[in-house]
Amino acid sequence: MRLVQAPFLMSDPASPYRLGIDLGGTKIEALLLAPDEAVLLRSRIPSPAAEGYAPLLASLHRFITETASLVPAGCPYSVGVGIPGSLDPVTGLVRNANSTCLIGRPLQNDLERLLGRRVGIRNDADCFVLAEYRQGAGQGYGLVFGVIMGTGCGGGLCIDGVVREGAHRIAGEWGHFPVDPLGAPCYCGNRGCVETKISGSGVEKAFVARYGRKLTMMEIVAGARDGARECRESFDRFLDDFGRCLGGLISILDPDAVILGGGLSAIDELYTIGVQRVRQYAFHDDLRTPILKNRLGDSAGVFGAAWSGVAP
């Protein structure tokens, strides 16, 4: 782990340190905030999600324990974890996770048992939109929709500073809205979900199916910029699907701002050609909804996880 700022003793012993974990498809990120919200640590490790639930749980436990060891002895701290899915409010089991090894697992109970303390768990897109509303590109807007575009695709909704989770804790979960009944099968059981169209993994799978060779999303983007025909075709479909999916969502929700996050949010063409496609598909002839790049980095959700934490 790497410290970005030396830890220091808090001035108010009643205020907790905040430990946040962002569990992604390819990486796990930890954040430790001082009581005054100064960043004490921000560190990443590879995610072993592909190896199964047990290795992933062990890595989470070890990473949280190592990060918590930097909190001064006797000082209170909270722990929050953002996951690419949600907890069933009845069973407490993880569902709708694109890290499929989590599905049906009692992640919160398992972590609390291993750590011997309470742990808050929230959807990663909810964590992202909360962070951007509080300290990022969403400041000053009332209704903000946050988009996560990375290994998977998710969304979160923040209204006047409050994350709306919904009765089933799936508010804003547009990644599994089917937009193409003849499209590729999705792990959720439907076909042609938004996630199969505009996530990194979805674009990569579509490229293999169409052209018979494997490229990463960033290789496809680079090839498109260099004029490679297959990459250019794939990238144009991606931008068109982005416009159709987000244009439809804006037509329903009419948010004050949309903020893009996740690894794919760094693709510059989303804010030029992509925005043009959104305007083409939205039900409005003069769309003014700002579509913004995040300000807190592609893993801003780790801040929201820290703010969603639960103290002992």
List Cα–Cα distances, 252 to 9, 145, 248, in angstroms: 48, 12, 7
Coil, helix or strand at residue 260? strand
Extract the residue ranges of the chain whose pLDDT is less than 70: 1-14, 298-299
- Enter the tokens of residue 277: 């496609």
Specify the pLDDT at position 7. Answer: 31
**DSSP assignment letter at 2:** -
How high is the pLDDT of residue 187? 87
CATH of domain 17-126+299-307: 3.30.420.40
DSSP for 186-201?
Answer: -TTS-BSBHHHHHSHH
Tokens describing residue 206: 């579509």
238, 198 in Cβ contact below 8 A? yes
Quick count: other Cβ atoms within 10 Å of Cβ 284? 12
Q: How many CA atoms lie within 13 A of 37 on its CB side?
A: 8
The model's pLDDT over 116-171, given as tens digits with 9 standing for 90+, comes to: 999 999 998 999 999 999 999 999 999 999 999 988 899 999 999 999 988 888 89
Which fold, 139-293?
Nucleotidyltransferase; domain 5 (3.30.420)
Please say whether the beta carbons of 190 and 178 come within 8 A.
Answer: yes
What would the two tokens of residue 51 be?
A: 């190896």
Q: Where in the chain is CATH 3.30.420.40?
A: 17-126+299-307, 139-293
- Report pLDDT for 8: 31
- Per-residue model confidence as pLDDT tens digits over 215-250: 999 999 999 999 999 999 999 999 999 999 999 999
What are φ and ψ of residue 110, in 5° steps? -65, -45
Eight-state DSSP code of residue 16: P
**Lookup result for tokens 């324990």:** 65
* First-to-last C-alpha distance (Å) of the chain: 25
C-alpha distances in Å from residue 13, one per residue of 75, 270, 288: 7, 45, 46
**What confidence score (pLDDT) does residue 14 get?**
58
Query: What pTM did the predictor assign?
Result: 0.85
83 close to 23: Cβ distance less than 8 angstroms: yes
Q: Phi and psi for 155 in degrees, rounded to 5?
A: -150, 155
DSSP state of 166: T
Query: Measured between alpha carbons, how far is 217 from 146 in angstroms, rounded to an integer?
Result: 21
Residue 9 has a pLDDT of 32
For residue 46, list its beta bridge partners.
27
